[in-house]
Amino acid sequence: MALLFEIFPNTSEPIYLQIETQIRKAIASGRLKKGDQLPSVRALAEQLTVNPNTVSRAYAELTTEGVVESHPGRGVFVAERRAIYSGEERERRLDEALHRLLDDTAFLDLPLSRIIKRLETLSTQYHPKPPKI
């Protein structure tokens, strides 16, 4: 089975971050489990038609964060699942992301209820159930 990674080049989100996020999500949703092998840099780059450097960078960051482990010559594997962020750190990151949202939407003059409703909608599209294979 090929991992169904999907990137959207027509987005402001950097591609290497999209790749990271996709892998993190795949792990969070259980599609990828501890010990699973990730596609090689070259293979994934070809599949996504992006520059191999871009894939490398994503893998490198995931490696330094302990999400994946690189075993030179054998490949890159999903690491032991563990909480990467402390509770405090998660709070901080959540608040930071929410502040950014408030900044970005402040001048759109939309009621909070509208924002939340749309968030709920997008959230279900964003966290799809793992596909039944």
Partner DNA sequence: GTGGTCTAGACCACG
Partner DNA sequence: GTGGTCTAGACCACC
Chain contacts with its own copies (rule: CB under 8 A): 9-14, 17-18, 21, 24-25, 28, 61, 64-67, 69, 71-74, 82-110, 112, 114-116, 118-120, 122-123, 126-127, 129
Q: What are phi and psi of 58, to 5 degrees?
A: -60, -50
What's the closest the beta carbon of residue 39 comes to its own copies, in angstroms? 19
CB of 53 to DNA, least distance (A): 4
Out of its own copies, DNA, none, what residue 85 binds, judged by CB under 5 to 8 A for its kind, is: its own copies
Query: Using an 8 Å Cβ cutoff, are 38 and 23 in contact?
Result: yes
Contact residues for DNA, defined by CB under 7 A: 14-17, 38-43, 50-54, 56-57, 59-60, 63, 70-76
How far is Cα 111 from Cα 113, in angstroms, rounded to an integer?
5
20 in helix, strand or coil? helix
111 contacts which partner out of DNA, its own copies, none, CB within 5 to 8 A by kind? none
70 DSSP β-pair partners:
76
> In angstroms, rounded to a whole number, what is the distance separating the alpha carbons of residues 98 and 80?
29
25: amino acid identity, one letter: K
